[in-house]
Structure 1
Amino acid sequence: MKQYNTKAIMASLLICGFVGMFSETALNIAISNLMEIFQISASTAQWLTTGFLLTLGILMPMTGLLLQWFTTRQLFIGSLASSIAGTLIAALAFNFEMLMVARVMQAIGMGLLIPLMFNTILVVYPAEKRGAAMGFVGLVIMFAPATGPTVAGLLIEYLTWHYIFWLSLPFLVIGLLVGLKYLENVTEVTKPRIDLLSVLFSTIGFGGVVFGFSKAGEGGGGWSGSVVTVSIAIGLAALAVFALRQIFMREPMMNLRVFKYPMFIVGLLMVLSCMMIILSSMIILPMYLQKGMKLSAFAAGLILLPGSALNGILSPKMGRLFDKYGPKWLVIPGLIIVAATLWFYSGITPASSVAFIVALHIGLMIGISMVWMPAQTNGLNQLPPELYPHGTAVMNTLQQVAGAIGTAVAISILTNGMEKYLSESPSPNEQTELANAMTFGSQHVFSFAMTVTVIGLATAFFIRRVIVHRAAVNPMH
């Protein structure tokens, strides 16, 4: 295997990944604030998250192809150019539409960067060291979103929400400069044929499904709305055609042969369940803390910091434990911890103590750190090197779809729960009743997340360690 300056390569990718993930959740805590400033409803504000996910859902399936068409450096520069431009526009945004455009540009940047990061690790690290390397990615993917709400809460309290983006900008520029100096081209550019029909069906398919679920989460017509039904139906039909086309093509855009590897499937299912748990919790908790418990944005951010920070710190440690012991002894206990904390969460009330909520959040985040990276690394390890770009594309794409579904289901469960509670309340406009309605809706969301965890736990019993054969380290011809 060629020797790479792995530390410098990782540093540039991790700095940029950190900032991208930071601004993703930093904005979540500002949603209530933005609704007042821009005079928009919760469902419109949700598009700042949904639009981001929708862009990722459309772009991610193409990354397997892009990784074979462009060099590592070209993709890195393209990704950073889009992220920096999006962040600058967001920092200057004076209305919702401008902020929405900025979010889409940031999503394009992240959509290129995340698969690039995973693929680079698979190429530059031998299998026995990948767990620890993936753990550092876990640190970024978890610790950045963790610091987002706290820092954003502080900025909103003392400055304005624009500073979320002004703060991110210099770090993106630093990441770009480090990358320009140290990042090497680690993949081979093979330029496979681009099949425009595959691109079209993938865009309609993944886009339609993500869009449909997002509309469902907006309340109003809910799941019965014609837009929801039609876009999910068209999306699923397009995905079926897309999948059939990939199976029969000599050079597929997204190689579905990755599904021949059982541990890849098990790892994928567990990553998807983690994604749904994290996103449904991450969108509901800040809202509950601010509207149900009447805390400030900064206080809500502080409450979520210890658990998320611990998750980030533990990710590399879990990666090393995975390298040493394999996935089973991490994943099963991790999911049991997650299920237990969500069960307790489903019983929270406005009278619940802050310490109790912090403790539960710590438990939830420790559990997730034991599951996510070990399951993902184990799954990708089973693939032969020529399927790495496709494996990361499949995993990252379906994560975005699961994220959109998780967010939409969480919002719609919350909305329906609140409406049900208030319709039976004698004084639905009183502040205490609104807080109680928020609690009632949130409890139902945590029960949903617990159900997802139990399904993940059932899958976890099938996981076994992948033995990576030495021959598989060099690309097979």
Structure 2
Amino acid sequence: MKKNQKLIMSIVAIGTLSFLGIVIETALNIAFPKLMVKFKIPASTVQWLTTGYMLVSTVIIPFGAYLRKRFRAITLFRVAIISFLIGTVLAGVTSSFFLLLCGRIIQGIADGIGLPLMFSIILEQSPKKKVGFFMGLGSLVIAFAPAIGPVYGGIVLKYYSWQTLFILIIPIVLVIWLLGEFSITQKFNVFSISFDYRGGITLTGLLIITLLLIVSTASKSNYRIFLLLTAIICCILFIYFEKNNKNYIIDISLFKNRQFDIFLISFFLLQLMSLSMSYLMPNVLEIIFHLSTAKTGLLVLPAAVIDAIMSAVAGIIYDKLNHDFPILLGEGLICVSFLLANIISVAPINLIIIYSIFMFGLGLSYSNIMTRSLANLPIQSTNDGNVIYMTAQSYSGAMGTAIAASILTFTQNDYFNFINGTLAGLKINFKVLFFLSIIVLIFCTTIILRDKKMTNK
């Protein structure tokens, strides 16, 4: 019992790091219009406060398996908590956009270390009969953050400056530091292993360059061909370095599994849609309809709560009733939400209804896609598959924000009227998201029907 208590405390301590990172991220989404005016920057620039954070996290996550073998859990936790504290203090005292961005990037280091560390500890230390409970606990700590962030951001920004968003969480960071020091334990010895520098450099280059390529595609950049060629070269080199490497960073042999690939792409696109919507909703409500930050935060709250509740319900349906039903129902609802978005008029109540339907569908399907995909892998490949999914989750979020912001900036600059440009950008985003939602529905329906045919043979 005492061991379980320490495990719960360690999960809370490490998970709260990711929780706070998402709270700040969703709170800053509320602040973006104000920051754009204060620093005189476009949407494509201010979005790097989210994209930069998630990109750094994405680059670090694939190295999680190596870090766990090489360093003690408490050492990794200390690096993560110190990074988050430094980034929070820097962002909380500066009046410069560049230093604010630096603070967010430093916070991203904490998330890149903390997220795989938390799930690694759960898989290593939880009793076999309670793995589902502890995995659910870890997921719940993170999943509840989007419900808190907009309200937190809206209320704080109504009365105080944006720096206060960071300053108020410093005491919480110090408390979870102490909690982690007393609860995190080590179950196996660490050892010195060689690091795959060639694979690490080429993977990092591939992730960064492909994101820059996506951003440049939605803008008027002259470097797209160069970026595309560089990304292709990095991809080829990474595959070449990893193919016969015993100390690989990512087990690329998993990509030979068609089912794994299709579910991973679907998972990637769902997270991309989710972060696109979490960026668009508060910005549109504030820019087009001139709503206050507090009111905007309260309006997007129901959708976030729905997502958190449905994520828990979807897991129960998956375990006790049917694996495929919540996935297909959820993706069907997501298609409906974006179909409505392209048909009905743009009004606050309509946007909230659309967002709520979307989050209902996302909660049903998102985590179940990952669960179903990993369940079909050999036991020895589950951890590698988990690392790939966590990397995809973080990277697709960065890409989703970047695409939505780039489209918005493009249309805002193309129109004489800033509000009309924002409205045009929203409509283009909705068309893109509807197209992606159809792809996801087709992909998952195809693979699920194929599995049923093979089972019935």
> Would the TM-score normalized by the shorter structure come out above 0.5?
yes
Where do 1:27-426 residues align within 5 Å?
27-125=28-126, 130-186=131-187, 189-217=190-218, 219=219, 221=220, 225-350=221-346, 352=347, 354-384=348-378, 386-418=380-412, 422=415
* TM-score when normalising by structure 1: 0.86
8 Å Cα contact 1:272/1:398 also seen in 2:
yes
Cα distance change of structure 1 residues 31 and 335 upon mapping to structure 2, 3 Å threshold: same
Indicate the SS of the match to 1:252: coil
Cα distance change of structure 1 residues 132 and 439 upon mapping to structure 2, 3 Å threshold: farther
C-alpha separation between the residues in 1 aligned to 2:439 and 2:118? 29
Where do 1:453-468 residues align within 5 Å?
453-461=437-445, 462-463=447-448
C-alpha separation between the residues in 2 aligned to 1:40 and 1:156? 19
| TM-aligned CA deviation for residue 280 of structure 1 | 1.2
C-alpha separation between the residues in 1 aligned to 2:130 and 2:324? 18
8 Å Cα contact 1:139/1:311 also seen in 2:
no
Q: Which residue of 2 aligns with 1:437?
A: 421
Letter in 1 for 2:234: A
Q: Which residue of 1 aligns with 2:435?
A: 451
Letter in 2 for 1:443: K
C-alpha separation between the residues in 1 aligned to 2:410 and 2:97? 26
C-alpha separation between the residues in 1 aligned to 2:248 and 2:123? 21
Indicate the SS of the match to 2:271: helix
Letter in 1 for 2:385: G
| TM-aligned CA deviation for residue 131 of structure 1 | 4.9
8 Å Cα contact 1:56/1:108 also seen in 2:
yes
* TM-score when normalising by structure 2: 0.89
Aligned residues: 447
C-alpha separation between the residues in 1 aligned to 2:405 and 2:71? 38
Greater displacement, 36-45 / 198-207: 36-45
Letter in 2 for 1:456: V
Cα distance change of structure 1 residues 150 and 216 upon mapping to structure 2, 3 Å threshold: farther
Indicate the SS of the match to 1:80: helix
| TM-aligned CA deviation for residue 442 of structure 1 | 0.6
C-alpha separation between the residues in 1 aligned to 2:138 and 2:258? 24
Indicate the SS of the match to 2:205: helix
Q: Spell out, residue by residue over 1:372-412, the C-alpha distance to the aligned partner (whole angstroms, 9 max, x if none).
A: 11112232334455444432322222233322332233233
Indicate the SS of the match to 2:223: helix
8 Å Cα contact 2:47/2:402 also seen in 1:
no
Letter in 1 for 2:91: A
Q: Which residue of 1 aligns with 2:455?
A: none
Q: Spell out, residue by residue over 1:408-452, the C-alpha distance to the aligned partner (whole angstroms, 9 max, x if none).
A: 3323333444556x3xxxxx34xxxx4333222212211211211
C-alpha separation between the residues in 1 aligned to 2:225 and 2:279? 24
C-alpha separation between the residues in 2 aligned to 1:78 and 1:260? 35
Greater displacement, 33-42 / 153-162: 33-42
C-alpha separation between the residues in 1 aligned to 2:188 and 2:365? 28
C-alpha separation between the residues in 2 aligned to 1:227 and 1:166? 39
C-alpha separation between the residues in 1 aligned to 2:101 and 2:61? 19
Cα distance change of structure 1 residues 345 and 178 upon mapping to structure 2, 3 Å threshold: same
Cα distance change of structure 1 residues 187 and 298 upon mapping to structure 2, 3 Å threshold: farther
| TM-aligned CA deviation for residue 77 of structure 1 | 1.9
Q: Spell out, residue by residue over 1:13-51, the C-alpha distance to the aligned partner (whole angstroms, 9 max, x if none).
A: 332221121112211211111122223333322221222
| TM-aligned CA deviation for residue 207 of structure 1 | 1.7
Letter in 1 for 2:435: T
Unpaired runs of at least 5, structure 2: 452-457
Indicate the SS of the match to 1:346: helix
| TM-aligned CA deviation for residue 263 of structure 1 | 4.8
Indicate the SS of the match to 1:73: helix
Letter in 2 for 1:33: K
Superposition RMSD on alpha carbons, in Å? 2.6
